Amino acid sequence: MTERIVVLGGGYAGLGAAKRAARRLRGTGARVTLVNASDRFVERVRLHQLAAGQRLIGLPLPRLLDGTGVELVVARATGIDLGARIVRLDAAPHELGYDVLIYALGSGADLDAVPGAAEHAFTVATAGEAARLRSRLAEARSVAVVGGGLTGIETATEIKAARPRLEVRLISAGRIGDGLSERARRHLHRACDRLGVTVREHAPVAEVGPDGLLLGDGCRVPADTVVWAAGFRVPGLAAASGLATDEGGRMLVDAALRSLSHPGVLGIGDAAAAGTASGRSRMSCQTGLPMGLHAGDAAARLLTGRTPRPARIRYVWQNISLGRHDGVSQFARADDSPLGAAVVTGRLSALFKEAITRGTVWRLRHPGPYRP
Ligand SMILES: Cc1cc2nc3c(=O)[nH]c(=O)nc-3n(C[C@H](O)[C@H](O)[C@H](O)COP(=O)(O)OP(=O)(O)OC[C@H]3O[C@@H](n4cnc5c(N)ncnc54)[C@H](O)[C@@H]3O)c2cc1C
């Protein structure tokens, strides 16, 4: 019988894994099948740009897979039978058997974090949600972006740069850009001042309502549009299927990215928690794509009876766009801690980030030999 690798999720991690596995197994007769909820690759790192009104280039998966031998199935995975090695889907062919499974379902916005967020907040976590926010912004007058991490900062500054007349507030439970060096954080504040984004730090949100936010200290922040960018959460499929997960539902994997409970399943990208020098892997495209390329190699090794090699998950930088013409690039140690003085700001950082973002798509088109 033909052996088969099934990859669930065609984002940065899953697409990289599928293409790499197919490349490794070319000529062996093994099949690689990629299951994704849509027939498009979504450049999630640009979704704040989409929300702010920019057009993104279309990246149809069939074109990205052309000539690779990877079969694409457009369907949602609804269940995994780990004993029978079958994935259940909500569309034809409804079931797929596998010999090695790669789990790469990514993440979405965590809208259950406070009451009212699910009913009233917009997000930039998926292409559909970012497009819904873009339509809303056409009529909005005041926007409150919740979340002082990278996604919140990028979203608030991108919206304000594109729509200067909008009142934009950035609300953070702690400091904005908390993991960055003081130098990088100073630039974030300068950029927000220059653009006119009002920053409110140490202001945890207790509730989201139709006309704004209620903060933990009882103060209200008026806004006709709330954008929730305070953390991602992963799909529940891994936990529901019986795969070992952490408290947030991310699949727990060993050094070779194999499930701790079911070593015939590999977990990558946002949906998996791998060990790093600083703890568990941070949800990022920066680690998702290398994890994917490594998993493609590992799956091919498993299918041919060899032991997968350990992955080395290392960080290099954090690149934050502040509109299209400004940014902060914070270089980091392998454990993700900031290299204090190694900061590039302004137009150079914006150009650098754009080059990295384009380079990532180029890498997905050409997933050559793995380099950490
Ligand atoms: C606005 C924004 C800006 C960001 N900026 C950066 C940045 O500058 N740098 C950085 O490193 N990271 C950034 N990130 C985070 C980065 O986008 C994610 O870490 C990355 O997308 C994770 O890749 P992934 O392949 O694990 O998941 P995803 O890219 O989320 O892909 C998951 C795929 O699985 C599919 N899927 C989900 N459920 C199912 C199902 N049940 N069945 C079938 N298919 C399913 C989805 O449709 C999707 O195609 C940003 C995120 C956002 C939202």
Strands 86-89 and 275-276: unpaired
Tell me the CA–centroid distance for residue 361 and ligand 1, in Å. Answer: 13
pLDDT confidence tier of residue 288, bands split at 50, 70 and 90: very high
pLDDT number for residue 26: 93
Q: Tell me the whole-structure pTM to 2 decimals.
A: 0.96
What domains are there in the chain, each with its CATH number? 4-107+234-312 (3.50.50.60), 116-230 (3.50.50.60)
Q: What is the mean pLDDT of the chain?
A: 95
pLDDT number for residue 190: 98
For a pocket test of ligand 1, which of 105, 155, 159 has the largest count of ligand atoms closer than 8 A to its C-beta?
Answer: 105
How far is the CA of 60 from the CAs of 11, 92, 230, in angstroms?
A: 12, 20, 29
Please enumerate, as own/partner, the contacts of 276-280 that have beta carbons within 8 Å and a separation of 24 or more. 276/313, 276/314, 276/315, 276/335, 276/336, 277/314, 277/334, 277/335, 277/336, 278/335, 278/336, 278/337, 280/246, 280/250
Give the position, in ligand 1's atom list, of the atom nearest the Cα of 47.
1
Residue 345 CB neighbours (<10 A):
21
369 versus 151: which is more confidently predicted?
151
pLDDT number for residue 362: 92
pLDDT number for residue 369: 58
Instruction: Show Cβ contacts of residue 132 under 8 Å, excluding neighbours closer than 6 positions.
Output: 122
The protein residue with its alpha carbon nearest to ligand 1, atom 48, reads 11
At 248, phi and psi to the nearest 5? -95, 0
pLDDT confidence tier of residue 368, bands split at 50, 70 and 90: low
Q: What is the CA radius of gyration of the chain?
A: 21
Give the position, in ligand 1's atom list, of the atom nearest the Cα of 268.
26
Task: State the average pLDDT over residues 297-315.
Answer: 93
pLDDT number for residue 372: 40
The pLDDT of residue 178 is above 70: yes
Q: Residues with beta carbon inside 6 Å of ligand 1?
A: 8-14, 35-38, 42, 44-45, 47-48, 76-77, 104-107, 124-125, 150-151, 154, 235, 269-271, 283-286, 288, 319
What tens digit of pLDDT does each residue of 248-287 get?
999 999 999 999 999 999 999 999 999 877 778 889 999 9
DSSP 8-state assignment for residue 108: E
Give the position, in ligand 1's atom list, of the atom nearest the Cα of 78.
41
What tens digit of pLDDT does each residue of 210-245 get?
999 999 999 999 999 999 999 899 999 999 999 999
pLDDT confidence tier of residue 336, bands split at 50, 70 and 90: confident
- Answer positive or negative: Cα dihedral of 196, 55, 318, 227: positive
Task: State the average pLDDT over residues 284-296.
Answer: 94
Tell me the CA–centroid distance for residue 229 and ligand 1, in Å. Answer: 14
E strand residue ranges, 277-337: 279-280, 317-321, 327-332
The protein residue with its alpha carbon nearest to ligand 1, atom 3, reads 45
The pLDDT of residue 366 is above 90: no
Task: State the average pLDDT over residues 338-352.
Answer: 93
pLDDT confidence tier of residue 313, bands split at 50, 70 and 90: confident
Tell me the CA–centroid distance for residue 28 and ligand 1, in Å. Answer: 31
Instruction: Show Cβ contacts of residue 65 under 8 Å, excluding neighbours closer than 6 positions.
Output: 18, 19, 34, 72
Tell me the CA–centroid distance for residue 10 and ligand 1, in Å. Answer: 9
Tell me the CA–centroid distance for residue 267 and ligand 1, in Å. Answer: 14
Number of helices (H), then strands (E), in the chain: 10, 25
What tens digit of pLDDT does each residue of 61-78 get?
999 999 999 999 999 999
